Structure formats: C-alpha cells, structure tokens
Amino acid sequence: MATRVITYGTFDMFHEGHRRLLERARELGDHLTVGVTSEDYDATRGKLNVQEGLMQRIEGVRRSGLADEIIVEEYEGQKLHDVQSRDIDTFAIGSDWLGKFDYLNPFCDVVYLDRTKGISSTDLRAERHGTVRIGVIGSGRIAARFVPESRFVSGVSVDVVYSPNPANAARFAATHELDRACGSVEELFALVDAVYIASPHGTHAELVRAAIAAGKHVLCEKPLALTKAEAVELFALAAEAKVVLMEAIKTAYAPGFRRMLAVAQGGSIGQLVSIDATFTKLIPSGREHVAPEGGAISELASYVLLPFVKLFGTEPVEVRTTSLKPPGSEVEVFSKIDLTYPNGVGTARVGIGVKAEGELVIGGTEGYLYVPAPWWLTDYFELRYEDPGKRERYYVKFARDGLRYEIGEFAAVIRAGALASYMLRPEESIGLAGMIEAARSQDRYFGVE
C-alpha cells in the first residue's frame, strides 16, 4: 500500500530551497500532496509581502514535477481535515515550525525537515524581485524573536549573525539554522544588503555608523539614539549614503496601531486634547538596570512617547519627569513623564520595577479612544462617548510577536528605492530621541530616603 505524504507552504517565487524541501518530503513516501496557501489564508496568518498570486505559486510547484497532487490551503484547521480525509501517513513541514504541528501525531507521523541553508539569499527572488539579505547584529531576546518573524515576510532572507561573544553567536546560528556566525561586523557586512541591530542601547549609534559606512540599509532597535543630536547625525549620514535607516519600534508599523491613529485623527472624538500611555514590565536584573544606558525611560519610553509624536508632534513645549530610583539602584525603575503641547497635554508612564495597567487613552472634545493592555500590541480598541450606547469597537489582527510588520515595511522601502517610511519618519525618530533625552536629563525622584 502506498505511503501518502503531505506538506504545505506559500511557495512564493519557487526556488531551490523549495525544491529541496519537496524532494525530502517526497523521499518519505510514495505519493506527495502539496498544499499551497491562498491569499486570504496568508493574510490571516500574517504572511507579508507575497510577490506572486496563487495560480503562479501553484504553477511553480507543478513545474517542479515533485507533487503528485496540489491542493489549496484556505483556512486555519484545514491540515487536520486534509490528513484525515486523504488518509495521510506522514505530515512533513520545515523545521521553522518545530513542535507547532505535534497535535497531528495521533493521526499521522509528523516530520520536521531541516531548513535548506544558503538558498533563499541567492534564489529566483533575488534575480526577479530582489531578496533583501539581512544580517543580525546581536544574539539576545529580541534578535531571537526577529529571525522566526522574518520568515513570515516574503522576499527577505536572514542567514548570518554577529555577536561580540563568539559562543553566543554560534549558539544563536545553530538554534535558528543560520548559515554562519560571523567573526566581525565587517564579515557580516560583506554577506548582506541590510542589517538589523539588536545590541545594547549604548552600542546602537556606533554600529549604525559602521553599517552606513559599509553601504548597508539599517533597521535599528529602539531607542535608535539617546540624544537628539546623535539621531540627527545618523539620519544625515544615511541620507548622504542613500541607504534606509529605520527605527524598529514595532508598534509604529502594526496594522492595529495605524488603524487606531487614523480613527483618532479622523475627528470621531472631536479635537484631540490628551494622551495617557503606560508600558511597564518587571525586569529583575540585567543590562536594563545598569547605568548609564539602562533605566525605565531608555528601555520603554520609545513606545509610550510614540502616540504623542504621531498625534501631537515632535516638539512639546515642556517635558517634566518624576522617577522612582530605589536606594542602591543605578537607574530609575519607574517614571512619569508629563508632556505639554500648545494644544494638548498628556502623561507617559514606564516601569521596569513597577507594574501598572498598560493602557492607552486618547481624550477628545466629543469622546475618547481606549486601547486596553497591552496597547502597544494593538488588536482591539474602542471609541467611547458620553452616551454609552454610541460605543464603537474595532478589531485588527496582530500576528505573533509583530516584528514581521517592521521587517515587511523595511524591505518594502528598500525595494521601492525610497529612504524612509511614512509609518515612522526620520523627523519622528529624531523627535523621540529628543524627548527621551529631555526626560532622562531630569533628577526629580520620589520615594527615596
């Protein structure tokens, strides 16, 4: 009796990596069914920047000659239906999804196929649409989320990493199945078109300068810079070199946050007058507690100040900060930043040693907009009015960690030949740096003996 195998994928711009995966899947049995995701399903699962339509992608799989049958994957949960209805013996999928489909084990064998390294950076996409090859600088928590998120963005390849600690870099490369752990940033620069900088805050500016000097596009974790002058310098260097420099504040690129801004700016709650934003998380130890770059403001203020920059502008009349700095602590662990604008006021709260409700409230003359915690991962918000019966609710998908949105926009700007994104303009990042600098420069503490 024939052994039946099934596998799934988007198969955008069918390339050698896809072929090798299908070859390995086919070796597992006698009959291979290939499921190709529909446009609607790709959208619901957060797959971004897909270049080809469904029929083109199906044709790519068909031309490979490796599929005995091709089906369309249209909805969440279809895999279980297909396994059962088609008497599948083996379910095969790339190792990017390790553990994700173990729930199918009672129904068939589940096999995770090792990723084919070094293919996607030189495949058909690079020839026809231009794959953006991104190297990762840093091997910490955020970098570890970046790599799997990048695989949801079509036309992006992440294959190399650099860390000043070679052991960490090697471990990171092995964990994420990357081609290489580079021994220097220069080695990494030679292999990529762009870099993602996820190193400690104090190293950002130096690494951005080096990448720009090497002619590489840069996506840099927040905060891009801790002073306004440094941010101005970095964007000037990028403009002169004609490379993209973007600050990786994932909220700015998320569909829900952008939808919320559009609703707020559309007059639904009248004239905007106030903003209250809070983001706290408990971080018991680590670089966040080490001076001079650590502290609640440098770690989290980029998020809570983002709504102010987008809705009220980059130049507040006054920034006044009050912070909690416990005895023995090198840095503030909670801060309240009060901002005054010509036509609005607000408060931004951040904490790494204090926990508070992480909500966003935008007040207007006719109502207010409410985003529940965690508002920086916006997938739901409400318009509320004096009359409770007028309340309006909005739901917008936020996929996984959300880093795919900034990666997708970064790649789109590069491919378009532009130098900036409207989602977070250079002047807005510069404004954020200035506001963070002003907030950190004040020594107003409470609760200190």
Spatial neighbors of 391 by CB under 8 A, at least 6 apart, are: 382, 383, 384, 385
pLDDT for residue 126: 47
Q: Is 317 helix (H, G, I), strand (E, B) or coil?
A: coil
pLDDT exceeds cutoff 70 at 121: no
Q: Are 333 and 352 in contact (CB under 8 A)?
A: yes
pLDDT at 234 > cutoff 70: yes
CA geometry: angle 378, 381, 386, nearest 5 deg: 155
Contacts of 106 (CB under 8 A, 6+ apart): none
Mean pLDDT to the nearest integer, 164-191: 96
Burial grade of 137 (CB within 10 A; 0-12, 13-18, 19 or more): buried
Closest listed residue to residue 178, CA positions, set 164, 192, 165: 192
Could you tell me which residue, 300 or 94, shows the higher pLDDT?
Answer: 300
Strand partners, 136: 161, 196
d(CA 440, CA 299): 11
DSSP single-letter state for residue 87: T
Report how far residue 408's alpha carbon sits from residue 413's, in angstroms, rounded to the nearest whole number: 9
Average pLDDT of 52-67? 90
- Region 73-81: mean pLDDT is 90
User: According to the model, what pLDDT value does residue 2 have?
Assistant: 85
Residue with tokens 């080695």: 187
Q: 378 near 394, Cβ under 8 Å?
A: no
Share of the chain above pLDDT 90, in %: 82
Which domains does the chain carry?
4-113 (3.40.50.620), 124-249 (3.40.50.720), 252-440 (3.30.360.10)
Q: From CA 212, how far away is CA 218, in angstroms rounded?
A: 7
Tokens of 79: 């895999």
* Bridge partners, 338 (sequence order): 320, 347
Residue 156 has pLDDT above 50, yes or no: yes
Confidence of residue 125 (pLDDT cuts 50, 70, 90): very low
Whole-angstrom Cα distance, residue 102 to residue 93? Answer: 11
* Confidence (pLDDT) at 372: 98
Alpha carbon 49 to its chain's center: 14
In sequence order, the β-bridge partners of residue 380 are 395
